[in-house]
Amino acid sequence: MQRFVVVGLNLLLCYGVIILASRKLDPRFLELVHSPVVQEHGIYTRDNMIPVERGQKDTPNIVILFADDMGWGDMGANSPTSYVHTPTLDSLAAKGIRFTDFHSGAATCSPSRASLLTGRLGLRNGVVRNFEPDSIGGLPLNETTLADVARRKGYTTGMIGKWHLGINGLYHPIHRGFETYYGLPYSNDMGCIDSYCYNSPEQTKCPTKLNQNITANGVKNITSWMNIGVPLYDDLKIIEQPVNITILSSRYAERARSFISRNAKKSFLLYVAFAHMHVPLAFQTDEGFLPYQNTLYELDETVKTIHQALINSGVEENTLIWFASDNGPWELKCEYSGSAGPFKGDWQRRAEGGGGGSASKQTVWEGGHRVPSFIYWPQVIKEGWVSAALASTLDILPTVASLIRAPLPPGRAFDGVDLTPVINGRQSNRNTVLFHPNSGAAGPEGEIGAARVGPYKGVYYSGGSPACGGNTGPSQHHDPPLLFDLESDPSESSPLSPTSPNFGKVMKVIKKELQNLHYSLKVDNKSQADYTQNPSLTPCCSVFEPACRCH
């Protein structure tokens, strides 16, 4: 399939704001436009002539709903006796397939999102840690996204919410397969805000006087992004900075409703990546709960609005909704953090074990990557049921590709599997291990920190991320790994003895699969992300206003 790159138009769209603000283009951007990757694969823009297949209405519409920092125990269906109130999520999960053993592809933001959109671990797609607001790069351009796959099949594609995979130039979601984009380019705490909110420590408020990092004559000279407002994008344009996070969820709901209504007669893919439950927490209506529970309920209400939009547009029956979270709760935020349910990582927390710290976000413990998830698809799933199949956000791309009858991108290996057998009521076809990459708490970032085979989990790198109060646990490498039986010990309290009957058998399987993975990586078409930072590239709507302010 041939695609064309309209270089002049791309530069005008991508860099028009930069030119108007008297910003010099980083020469690496110009190199990208003429690079072999772009020349060979092309880049999607809204104005490109892209030969695609016409959408087929016998294949489902796809709606991916992706929460942020939401723990396994934050969905009422998983924890019916807990404090949470998520009636919409619980109802959809009860009528669909609720996964109890579902995992994010990584335990932190950018790598998790990259794994969802590519079906590949960070060792392949190059995204092994988070991007910053002033990052030059993003998800490498030779990676094919879920939106690319759907668009080539004639699907209309849209994204709403948090991107966090690079915003400058060709890394913007508009150039990664999405025809429309409305949302935040990164986390809602990566910059200052004006809105009243909840965070620990308190969220940085935007300055009211001209930022000292921007000279009086309007020349941009940013040295830090913390005093720059968090921006809200509408396609390629910043429309508000700092964003009003108090009303952001209702804005996302309205944009989703509009997208669904506008494209009801087409085949569409909609990816909604919520700001909830990432700090700073904010909500419009106080339901009488604590701040975290109020925010969680607002997330649930937003999902309700999106679901109702599908009903009102007459497309609910043949629309597949897939809900998940990017990683587990961020315990450092204390009362503004969620619950991992029974997956507490007890061994890590003990002084005589891992030495303390959190066993949730950024770790390879279950609380870091086991997340709430369900699939809702009325036309196919007639009665709800609970699946114990081992599954992951890595599986979303290959599964969606199978359902819409799209070929997987050629010339690369995938770590996800097609979960169509699960959707059809049969067992998952993941007969091998699921790998969990290190995500910041311990070990080399992106390297395999733990591996699952059946109910067993081998932990090669233990370490505790900052817990409430800031306590951490040291990074430790284990050879042989700590082996846990999650069926009998979901809290990962007591590793099995190397002399136990199953230790050797399980380790033989894990070692073999690690060998296969390392061989696959040697021959695969791998990518490498550019994590170089340039403060002058921090998104800025108006250099003449404090915090780059505009509305």
CA 385 to chain centroid: 26
3-state secondary structure 130-158: CCCCCECCCCCCCCCCHHHHHHHCCCEEE
One-letter amino acid at 112 equals S
Neighbours of 518 (CB within 10 A): 11
Using CA of residue 277, residue 280, residue 285, residue 291, what is the dihedral sign? positive
CA distances (Å), origin 121, targets 73, 208, 419, 487: 25, 42, 17, 25
Give dist(CA 11, CA 15) in Å, integer.
Answer: 6
Phi and psi, residue 372, nearest 5° = -70, 140
DSSP notation for 419-477: -HHHHTTS-----S-EEEE--SSSSSTTSEEEEEETTEEEEEEEEEB--TTS--EEEEE
> H-type helices in 34-158, by residue range?
36-41, 87-95, 109-118, 122-125, 146-152
CB-facing half-sphere around the CA of 111: CA atoms within 13 A: 30
d(CA 453, CA 512): 11
Q: Rounded to an integer, what distance in angstroms lies between the CA atom of residue 28 and that of residue 216?
A: 29
Token pair, residue 371, equals 């997340």
User: Residue 346 has which token pair?
Assistant: 């007890």
Whether the CB-CB separation of 193 and 242 falls below 8 Å is answered with yes
Query: Bridge partners of 157?
Result: 269
Helix (H, G, I), strand (E, B) or coil at 518: helix
Helix (H, G, I), strand (E, B) or coil at 323: strand
Instruction: Check residue 131 and report its DSSP letter.
Output: P
The single residue listed with the structure tokens 């007890």 is: 346
Which residue type occupies 70?
M
CA quadruple 296, 297, 303, 306: dihedral sign: negative
Residue 276 among the catalytic residues: no
> Which of these is catalytic: 14, 41, 103, 109?
109
Considering the candidates 14, 103, 164, 540, report the single residue annotated as catalytic.
164
**Cβ(536)–Cβ(220) below 8 Å:** yes
Q: Which of 209, 190, 198, 143 is nearest to 170 (CA)?
A: 143
Tokens of 102: 């579902």
Paired sense of beta strands 61-67 and 319-325, if any: parallel
Residue 261: CB atoms within 10 A of its CB come to 13
Residue with tokens 């508000």: 240
- Is 164 catalytic? The answer is yes
Measured between alpha carbons, how far is residue 16 from residues 11, 22, 168, 218 in Å?
Answer: 7, 10, 12, 16
Length of the chain: 551
Tell me the C-alpha to C-alpha distance, in Å, between residue 313 and each of 62, 262, 317, 432. Answer: 14, 9, 10, 41
Catalytic residue numbers, as ranges: 109, 164
